[in-house]
Amino acid sequence: MVREIMQVVETIEALREARAALTGRVGLVPTMGALHAGHLSLVEQARAECDAVMVSIFVNPTQFGPNEDLSRYPRDLAHDLSLLERAGVDVVFTPTPELMYPPDFQTWVEVAEVSKGLEGERRPGHFRGVATVVAKLFNLFQPHAAYFGQKDAQQVVVIKRMVLDLNFPLEIIVCPTQREADGLALSSRNVYLNADQRRAAAVLSRALLAAGAAYEGGERHPEKLRAAMLAVLQAEPLAQPEYVSAADARTLQELTLPGETPVLLSMAVRVGTTRLIDNMLLPPALNNRADLTAVLGR
C-alpha cells in the first residue's frame, strides 16, 4: 500500500483543512510530545481501528501548577515527528500556547466530582486544564475515537464524564500501560531520574503487584489492599509515597468496605524530586484495552 506523506500542521485553518480531506473513521491521539512506546501503542491501536490517525503534540500550560515542571518538561519535536511518521500517522498538529490560549481566552471546562480526589486533590486546577484542552482538541479534530493511556486513569475518567456531559460524538478508548522490563510504567518524566532513582522507581509497580497478589489470594478489604501497597513502598528508602488509593473504578470514590465492584488501585510517589504515578485495575484480568475502556469511569 502506498502511504501519503505525514502532514504536520501548525494553524487551526490548516488543521481543519487536513481533517476535511480525511475520509472514514478518524482516530485522535492527544499527546504532550516526548513520545515513548506508550504513546506509540496508542497510535498502533488507533491505526488498527481507524482509517486515519491524527496526533496532537502540545505541552498544555494550563494543566501544570505553578510549582510543577512546565518549563523543564522534555521536548523533542524532530524526534517525535520521525517516530510518528514511521508509525504511519496521517496528520500531526503542533500548535503554540498562544494559538491555543490567546490573551483574551476565558472559557474553561470543569468536570466537578471526578476531578476532586486523587491527582485532583494534589494538583489543584490540573483537570480543569486537561478537560479544557481536550475539549478544544475534540472540537478541532472532530475524531470518531480518541485514545488515552491507562497510566493517567483519573484523566480517562474525567474525559469520559466530559464526553457524556457535553455530548461529544466520539468514543474514548483506553489502552494498557506500557512498562519497562522491571515494571516501571513508561512516562516522559522518567528521564528526570538518575540511575539510583531509576532503580528505586520500579517499586511502584511492585507495590501494585503485591496488592494484586493479595487480591488474587482472596483479600478484598480495601484497607488491607492499601496497606499491602504502602508496605512495599515504605521498604524503598528513595521512595516517598504521596498517597495510595483503592477506589471504585467507576466513580473514583475511595472504598471503605469490601465489595464486588472493579477496584482502581493507584498511587503517587516521589522519587527524588520526580513525582511518579501508577495504577492497576482489580481483578487483575481487567487490565486490557476492552475492559479498561468499559470499566474506567461511566
Q: Going by C-beta distance under 8 Å and a sequence separation of 6 or more, which residues neighbour residue 198?
A: 184, 190
How far is 88 from 150, CA to CA, in rounded Å? 23
Q: Which three cell numbers stand for residue 158?
A: 474525567
Q: 3-class SS at 294?
A: helix
* Interacting residues with ligand PAF (CB under 6 A): 30-32, 60, 63, 130, 133-134, 152, 155
For the question of residue 36 being annotated catalytic, the response is no
Using only C-alpha atoms, the chain has a radius of gyration, in whole angstroms, of 19
Q: Which residues of 221-235 are buried (b: 16+ CB within 10 A; e: fewer)?
A: ebeebbebbbebbee
Q: Going by C-beta distance under 8 Å and a sequence separation of 6 or more, which residues neighbour residue 158?
A: 111, 114, 115, 127, 130, 131, 297
Judge residue 218's burial from the number of C-beta atoms within 10 Å of its C-beta, 0-12 exposed, 13-18 middle, 19 or more buried: exposed
User: Which CB sits closer to ligand PAF, 133 or 246?
Assistant: 133
How far is 248 from 216, CA to CA, in rounded Å? 18
User: Which CB sits closer to ligand PAF, 154 or 287?
Assistant: 154
Q: How far is the CB of 286 from ligand PAF (least distance, A)?
A: 21
How far is 222 from 284, CA to CA, in rounded Å? 15
Of 39, 79, 126, 221, catalytic: 39
Q: Which residues of 253-270 are buried (b: 16+ CB within 10 A; e: fewer)?
A: eebeeeeeebbbbbbbbe
Contact 91, 249 (CB under 8 A): no
Q: What are the residue numbers of the active site?
A: 39
